[in-house]
Structure 1
Amino acid sequence: MWRREFLAVRSRLTAGVVEEAGAALAERALELPELTGAHTVAAYVSVGSEPGTRALLDALRARGVRVLLPALLPDNDLDWGSYTGEDSLVRVQHGGKMALFEPAGERLGPDAVTSADVVLLPGLAVDAHGMRLGRGGGSYDRVLARLERAGARPALVVLLYDTEVVARVPAEAHDRPVDAVVTPSGVRRFGAA
Structure 2
Amino acid sequence: MTSRTLKAGLRTERLVLRDAMASEARAAASLKMREFGGNAIEIEPGQIVSGFSPIRSEVDIRPLMEQLGARGARLCVPAILDKTTIVFRELVPGAPLVDTGFGTTGPGDDAPVVDPDIMLVPLAAFDRTGHRIGYGAGYYDRAIDLLHRKGRQPRLIGIAFDCQEVASVPAEPHDVALDAVLTESGLRVLNGNW
Could you say which residue in structure 2 is the equivalent of 1:143? 143
Report percent identity of matched pairs. Answer: 31
Residues 1:11 and 2:12 are matched in the alignment:
no
Runs of 4+ in structure 1 displaced over 3 angstroms? 35-38, 85-88
What is the Cα deviation at residue 33 of structure 1?
A: 4.3
- Long gaps (5+) in structure 2: 1-8
What is the Cα deviation at residue 124 of structure 1?
A: 1.3
Mapped partners of 2:171, 2:94: distance in 1? 35
Q: 1:165 to 1:37 in 2, by over 3 A?
A: farther
Mapped partners of 2:74, 2:45: distance in 1? 12
- Long gaps (5+) in structure 1: none
SS of the equivalent of 2:166 reads: coil
Deviates more, 1:151-160 or 1:37-46: 37-46
* 2:48 paired residue among 40, 52, 72: 40
Could you say which residue in structure 2 is the equivalent of 1:100? 104
Q: 1:76 to 1:121 in 2, by over 3 A?
A: same
SS of the equivalent of 1:35 reads: coil
* 1:2 paired residue among 1, 10, 13: 10
Mapped partners of 1:86, 1:121: distance in 2? 24
Per-residue CA deviations over 1:37-64 (Å, capped at 9, x if unaligned) read 6621111111221011111122222223
Q: Residue type of the partner of 2:180?
A: A
Q: 1:35 to 1:81 in 2, by over 3 A?
A: same
TM-score, normalised to structure 2's length?
0.85
Mapped partners of 1:150, 1:181: distance in 2? 24
Q: How many residues align?
A: 185
What is the Cα deviation at residue 20 of structure 1?
A: 0.9
Mapped partners of 2:110, 2:99: distance in 1? 15
Mapped partners of 2:96, 2:104: distance in 1? 13
Asked if the contact 2:45–2:73 (Cα under 8 Å) also holds between the matched residues in 1, the reply is no
TM-score, normalised to structure 1's length?
0.86
Q: 1:144 to 1:90 in 2, by over 3 A?
A: same
Asked if the contact 1:156–1:179 (Cα under 8 Å) also holds between the matched residues in 2, the reply is yes
Mapped partners of 1:81, 1:12: distance in 2? 32
